[in-house]
Chain A
């Protein structure tokens, strides 16, 4: 008799669980069809670095090596040079600039310490996160890859507004399409 009771109890338990599971069907999806749909990243998200320039397009970096000193994984390599030409002709905003600025993404851990260390706001984390390459040597990014004027931004992300609740925002986007209903 107890075997029968066990079978009934287990069946009831499974049915209860299935009821909850099946009740999810009319609700909206929480998953994002990446890469067909962009993923939402937060404003503070730490992706691939950007080297910034001022309004005239001059590099802000003065090659003070603070980012390299702050880096816990020693992935930043800088060569400084002085450029005595007048402002309009030179590369950097200041006379001293980084002739070589390399970040080895094989070592970088995206901790944000370089950004925190930079006294000139010359380096920040961008949002590019698709950094996989076929060749390990390609992980070494030079100034050409990092400058904000040259780095190609991926279309696969969307930056949330600073105070935006991504989860509720996400619900809104989904319901706007009209295909799926909100809870």
Chain B
């Protein structure tokens, strides 16, 4: 068996001359453990995966083309729908790219709220990853616990923005509106309960020998391979590369927060699992710090031709009303140029390439989605593994098909 893998791993052309024992299995697009509508073309020798070919495109929505027909501010709602587990992170990447082109200064309070919300969203996103990857491997119980925690965070996001999965909370130049009264206390309440939940996860999964034997030594990707394939985020840090954009190229004031970047060296499913579990604690720490820094202040940049005026101002002052009409009806012109801005989303480096030709609509918006590039490394990890482990590997990559197909 093993020799067959060694023969075929590096020589895909030999595969076409089919072996007697070789079988092609189409896993997905309706398979529940492919996290959406991913189809895997698996070439099997018995239960051993010889070759895995991801087949994507079932969710293609043409979002990147859609940006060209929307005004800059309207594009925010499209970003919500890409990585639908981390919408606030997508919002942030998009608005920060536009702000870079415009040269806007974002006030302190808005920055802190952005960090606060993004870290809450990261916890929510990791909760879904944790729940579903356990579910894929047959452990159903953690799923209910993680979704309880996620529900609390979605309630918080709903309280701030009005949307649960599609918050569209950030705006170019600031925020949609300020946090509701009592929001910080509600976040504190959540944070006070959260260590308890982490304890539960440790009891159920992290210290569980069955879990160890399912994940240790499975789906290994070496440090060099991980860099070559462009892995980012927890999947890269699970292979021993210390790269976190929050530390490497800080944005939104992340350089002033005290947190660690967890790194594991083994590069297997277990390492990636441990990195993400550790990240939950780090996000928890950042949220705590951000709460301390919430001071009253403006939440929108001082740019009357770009940022909508305050509602009260708009009702009372003629010039504010005129600005309001102009911004809503015609948008604002963004200086000519192109920019790339990357943030550390929950799944890795989420980069936005934005090109402006000086008008109110972008000429091109391209997203470097972490899920898409992490998925491309799946064959490296899956080849030579058992078919049941492919499910574990997909779970450990934490992919979201909405982002892959865009």
Listed in ascending order, the chain A residues whose CB lies under 8 Å from chain B are 6, 9-10, 12-14, 16-17, 20-21, 30, 41-46, 64-66, 69-70, 72, 109-113, 116-117, 119, 125, 160, 162-168
Contact = CB atoms under 8 A, between A and B. Distances in A.
Specify the main secondary structure of chain B where it touches its partner: helix
Contact of B186 (A14, A116, A165): A165
A42 B162 contact: yes
A111 to B, nearest CB: 4
Given A42-B159, A113-B74, A165-B182, 18 more contacts: A10-B209, A13-B209, A13-B210, A16-B208, A42-B155, A43-B180, A46-B162, A46-B163, A66-B328, A66-B329, A70-B328, A111-B77, A113-B77, A117-B328, A163-B181, A165-B186, A165-B189, A167-B152
A42 B158 contact: yes
A13 B166 CA distance: 39
Contacts of A12: 209
A119 B324 contact: yes
A20 B70 CA distance: 50
A141 B77 CA distance: 22
Given A13-B210, A44-B180, A72-B78, A167 B70 contact: no
A116 B308 contact: yes
Contacts, number: 108
Q: Which of A70, A125, A160 has the most CB of B within 10 A?
A: A70
Contacts of B324: 117, 119
A127 to B, nearest CB: 10
Nearest to A45: B162
A44 B162 contact: yes
B350 interface: no
B256 interface: no
B141 A44 contact: no
Nearest to A72: B74
A17 B204 contact: yes
Interface string B312-332: 001100000100110011000
A45 B168 contact: no
A94 to B, nearest CB: 14
Given A17-B203, A167-B152, A111 B166 contact: yes
A112 B177 CA distance: 12
B3 interface: no
Contacts of A20: 200, 203-204
B224 interface: no
A113 B327 CA distance: 12
Contact of A165 (B158, B160, B185, B325): B185
A13 B213 CA distance: 12
Contacts of B315: 119
Q: Which of A17, A43, A45, A64 has the most CB of B within 10 A?
A: A17
A6 B208 CA distance: 12
Nearest to A66: B328
